[in-house]
Structure 1
Amino acid sequence: MRQLAVIPHPDAKITLFSWNGKYLIKLEKGPFEQTYKVSELDLTSEDDVHTLLDEEFIGSAVQRFRLMQQDLQAAFDRHGI
């Protein structure tokens, strides 16, 4: 796996990788991460990946991080951990 870029954003760490014919878009926030795999054949260049990472996409991912935290906390609460 080859790291292509770290894309600065205030709400999440975003890292772009190339691996096995795919671009991997990895977003991290605290203990959570989301990875999106996009075939290199679906895009014309790495620049297309940057285009995909618009504010709407990132905003949805950040909201998903909040939901992930809620899901984990609910599981802890259900089991008294």
Structure 2
Amino acid sequence: MRQLADIPHPEAKITLFSWNGKYLIKLEKGPFEQTYKVSELDVTSDDDVRALLDSEFLQAALARFTGMRTDLQAAFDRHDL
């Protein structure tokens, strides 16, 4: 796996990788992470992948982190942990 870029963002760590014919977009926030795989056949360059990271996509991904936190806390609560 080759790291192509760290993409600055104030709320999450975003890293772009190239691996096995795919671009991987990895977003991390606290203990949670999301990875999106984009086939190199679907885009012409990593600039196209960066274009996917528009405000609408990032807002949805950040909201998903909140849902992930809520789901994990609910599991802890159900099991009195």
What TM bracket, shorter-length normalisation? over 0.9
What is the match of residue 13 of structure 2?
Answer: 13
Q: TM-score, normalised by structure 1?
A: 0.99
Distance 1:51 1:19 in 2: 19
Gapped runs of 5+ residues in structure 2? none
Number of aligned residue pairs: give it. Answer: 81
**4+ runs deviating over 6 angstroms:** none
Aligned-residue CA RMSD in angstroms?
0.3
Structure-2 residue corresponding to 1:47: 47
Shift of 1:19: 0.1
- Per the normalisation by structure 2, the TM-score is 0.99
Unaligned runs of 5+ in 1: none
CA distance in 1, matches of 2:60, 2:6: 19
- 2:63 maps to 63
Partners of 2:67 and 2:35 lie apart in 1 by: 16
- Per the TM alignment, residue 11 of structure 1 is displaced from its structure 2 partner at its CA by 1.1
